[in-house]
Structure formats: C-alpha cells, structure tokens
A and B are shown apart, each in its own frame.
Chain A
C-alpha cells in the first residue's frame, strides 16, 4: 500500500547539507506490521514523517496506494513520541480533533468516538486535561485520536518510550490487539529490541546516519500475547541485537575515519 523507491533525505543546516536517509527502498504491504529500529540519529523519525507526507524526500519517490504522496494522507494517522496531545484541550477534544478537521462533528463524531473510548477504557476521563492523565492514559488518548480517523496506515514514533515497564507491556498488548481487530497497517519506530520483536512482523533495521536499510528481518512468530515468553522471541531478539551490534561497530569506525 506504500512504496518507497530510492528515497533519500538531506537536511540543510546553514550551508551544510546533512544526509539523514539514503537510498531507502521499501514496500509496505497492507495489513502487515513493521517495526523500524536503529541507533539514535539514524533518521527513524524522518522516515516516519516522510511516510506521513509531512516532509518531502530530496530524491526518490513515495507512493501511497498508487498515488504520489503529497500532503498528510487521509488514510494515515501518526502518533508522536511525546503523544502530541494538546495540553489546552480535554481528552474528548483532543481525540475529536482530527475528526473536526474533516468536518465530522456533533453526533456523528460521538458515534465514532464512544466505541473507541470504551475499547481503550477512557470513558472515565473524557473531561480531563492531559496534565491530569498518567503516561499510559495519554498514550491511549493519542491512540483514540488516531483510530477515530479510521486509518489504514498507523505510524507510531517511539510511542511507549516514556512509560514504565508494566504500562509499556500492557500498551504493547493493546497495540497488538488493535492491530488485529482494526486490520490496520502498522509502522512502529522504536529503540527497544523487545518491542520491535513483539510488534513487528517485519523488522526494518537502519544503519547509523545517514540511515540506510541494513536488513529486513521477518518475524513470523509474532501476533500472540504469549510470544514474549516463547523461545523463538528470545532468539529473534538476539538476532536483531547482533545485527545492531555490527552496526554499532561500523558507526565507531566511521567516526574514527571522519
């Protein structure tokens, strides 16, 4: 549903051109889940912004279901690192925001939002402001806002990095459940190997800056809540870790060389 063809991205920093991503080729298949992992500063977030249509590649092309990617896509929802909730809006208003921009308001919006609030166990705190919520609740509001748009493609940028271990695991299970139930294509950027293996059918490993695709590891075992306790899960984690460690060495070498 989403194809990236020889995509490169270079940031201009004054007179310097800083390459962020180089020669990215990806074919995202509808309904699958992808985890993107790599060292910090490898352009993971930039890759996500490109897929969301928020920034344009400096070379190559991105096509969404046949069409060229331009503006933020109607079928795409993006969840940012620090949840991206607006502190001045209540839970309800935050979740309804995307619908409002599409002129879906009033009863029509309620009809869409209530089942989502129930599914995400948020009905108790609809009138609260983000400052009154726990990290896990904030994340669920961000999920509600994304799901309200009935996206085909859900992009998440390190969505759980600020949460404690237990909340994190609960939310990973929730994301898994939502992915299965809503038939969404999921692309999740993470720096946690366990999270990538738990949630990604395909694990895309990026090399250090400029980010290139180092490897795409298939992870057929994922999809069940219990996978975490499975021997295969741990094997997959080790596999990813060893690829990332090779990466780390090359990062070190490139630093020495430059």
Chain B
C-alpha cells in the first residue's frame, strides 16, 4: 500500500509542476496579448516577488496568514459543533433553521462599516467579518451532513450500548468529517476574498493593503508580487487542509 501511496504522491507532484507550467504559459500569452503595464509578464513579477518578499512583503504575508487562519479556526470551532447538534436535533433545527435561512443570504460584507464601529479598526473587526461569513457556510454544510448520517450506523452502535456522546464521537462526527473538510476548503477561498476586501482600508498591514498600496503607486510588478503572495497563502492553506484530512480521515485514502 505504501508504494502505491508513494507513486500517487509522485504523480501529484508531477501534475502540480505541469499545472504551474501551463498557468505561467497562459499568463505569459495573456500579458503579451493585452500588452498593458497592468498585467506584467510572469518572469518580471516572479523576480520582483523574490526580491521584495524578504524585504518586507513577508510581514504582510504573515499578518494576512494570521488573520485567515484565526478566522478559519474560529469559524470551524463555532460552526461545526453547532451544525452537528442542530443536524441531529429536529426540534432545535426547526427553531433555528428560519433564523439561519434569513441570515445566510445577507451580504455580511456590507456590514463592514458597522463592524468597524463595534470592533474598531484593528485585527478584531477583520477577523470578526471573515469568521461571520464562513461561519454560515460551514454551519449549513455540517448540519446537512449530520442530517443524513445513515440511521443503520446509529442503530448498530445503539444496539452495542453506546451513550449519546459515544454516538457523536463514533458515528456522527466521523460521518460528517469529509463534508466538513469540503466546507472548510470552500470557506478558505471565501476567507481570502473577504480578507482582501477587509484589508483594503483602515490598515497598513496585510497583503490586501499591500496590493492596494502598490496599485495606487502604479507599481504593477510589485502589485503582482502581492497577488502571488496572496495566491501562495491560499495554496499552502489548501495543502494544510488536505494534509489534515488525510490525518483525520484515513479511511478515505485506502
């Protein structure tokens, strides 16, 4: 099994290299067609990235990483237990579902001014906004996953004398984990978009700020170095989520 796993791993590394190559190729072609300073060619942007990352871009990178990771963590910590609970408790769900359905479609990003007033303009307001948005995504997915846990699994464990908590631990949580991971992956994309928006004003740190600032200086290669940094942030977190899924859901990879 391990040789098989290794060869799969090797394949995925090769396919990543191919994907990077084709992305860069597409970028190069598009840049040549547009022929605009707003879209520099990949090579100058990459050189700029390598040049300015150690000079100070890393600091923006770290601040943004901190904000996204903490928001994701808070979103998961709040939404997963609640989703699992209301997914299994019909009465609670029928009470909460209308609230969730009314709140879910509200463009919470538009609440940013209010959030700034409540939490001031520091990290808290940004983290709160991201957490608020991804909370609903994860909550709805987790609840729906918890609802469709096969009754046979629960009955078989009940017949073995499991307590309520043991049913959660041994059946409901593991049954929902793959879908929770999917929700977290989707939320990661959302979190980075919201982060970019939230960092676009009232801050002097973060990749969103860096991109807007270089844009205002019409320094497009620097701006693209910032965009690359933001993409890398997303990519690394994606890999981290994959790694955690392999760790927590080994049965999916046999």
Contact = CB atoms under 8 A, between A and B. Distances in A.
Interface of A: 49, 52, 54, 71-72, 74, 76-78, 80-82, 84-89, 97-98, 101-102, 128-129, 131-132, 145, 149
Nearest to A84: B156
B159 A101 contact: no
Contact of B160 (A131, A132, A149): A149
Interface of B: 152-153, 155-163, 166, 170-171, 174-175, 177, 249-251, 254
Given A87-B251, A88-B174, A97 B157 contact: yes
9 contacts: A54-B158, A72-B158, A72-B159, A84-B157, A84-B159, A89-B174, A97-B170, A98-B160, A101-B160
B5 to A, nearest CB: 14
Nearest to B153: A86
B180 to A, nearest CB: 13
Given A82-B152, A86-B153, A132 B254 contact: yes
Contacts of A86: 153, 156-157, 170-171, 174
Nearest to B248: A88
Contacts of B177: 88
Given A80-B152, A80-B156, A98 B161 contact: yes
A88 B254 contact: no
Contact of A88 (B152, B155, B162, B249): B249
B254 A128 contact: yes
B249 A54 contact: no
Contacts of B249: 88
A56 B159 CA distance: 14
Contact of B161 (A49, A72, A84, A89): A72
The 6 A-B residue pairs with the shortest CB-CB distance in the complex, in nearest-first order:
A84-B156, A98-B160, A78-B159, A88-B174, A129-B251, A88-B251
Contacts of B250: 129
Contacts of B163: 101
Contact of B152 (A72, A84, A97): A84
A54 B254 contact: no
A131 B251 contact: yes
Contacts of B156: 78, 80, 84-86
Contacts of B155: 49, 54, 78, 80, 84
Contacts of B161: 71-72, 74, 98, 101-102
Contacts of B158: 54, 72
Contact of B254 (A72, A77, A78, A131): A131
B221 to A, nearest CB: 48
A98 B162 CA distance: 8
Contacts of B166: 101
Given A54-B158, A74-B161, 6 more contacts: A81-B152, A86-B156, A86-B171, A88-B174, A88-B175, A97-B160
B234 to A, nearest CB: 29
A19 to B, nearest CB: 21
A89 B163 CA distance: 18
B175 A52 contact: no
A238 to B, nearest CB: 34
B175 A77 contact: no
Nearest to B150: A82
B250 to A, nearest CB: 8
Contacts of A87: 251
Contacts of B152: 80-82, 84
A222 to B, nearest CB: 26
A132 B253 CA distance: 11
A77 B161 CA distance: 10
A52 B158 CA distance: 10
A133 B156 CA distance: 19
Please indicate which of the listed interface residues B153, B156, B250, B251 has the most CB atoms of chain A within 10 Å of its own CB.
B156
Contacts of A88: 174-175, 177, 249, 251
Contacts of A98: 160-161
B138 to A, nearest CB: 20
Contacts of A149: 160
B158 to A, nearest CB: 6
A46 to B, nearest CB: 12
